[in-house]
Amino acid sequence: MKQQKYNTLIAFLLGTALGTIIGTLLAALFTPYSGEETRERIKTQSVQLKDRVLAESDEFSARIRGVTDTWVAQLQDIADDLVAQGKMTTDEARNQIDALLEKVRR
């Protein structure tokens, strides 16, 4: 049983290595560009991809910032309303206490 798993693993690794070698050779034989041209194309495309990713990430960050700014403003409004309600309740309670004190003093 162990030997069979070992043989399967070896066969897989050999197949992977052989496939990599054959793929590399075929790519080198059938590429339409020289090695220097291929490297230059890869370099150019990687720079373009990097620039695009940076632009997209800046746009995404701006959108997230806008959404979070809106949330913060909404939460601030809610907090202000709650504070105002608390003050009103405190003022009402103070008025009731003052009224009770007036009755007690009379």
pTM for this entry: 0.42
What does the pLDDT read at residue 83? 83
SS (H, E, C) 5-56: HHHHHHHHHHHHHHHHHHHHHHHHHHCCCCHHHHHHHHHHHHHHHHHHHHHH
What would the DSSP string read from start to end of 59-76? HHHHHHHHHHHHHHHHHH
H/E segment holding residue 100: helix 35-105
pLDDT in tens, 4-51: 887 888 899 999 999 999 998 888 788 888 878 888 888 999 999 999
pLDDT in tens, 68-102: 898 888 889 888 888 888 777 887 878 888 887 78
In angstroms, the CA 52 to CA 6 distance is 46
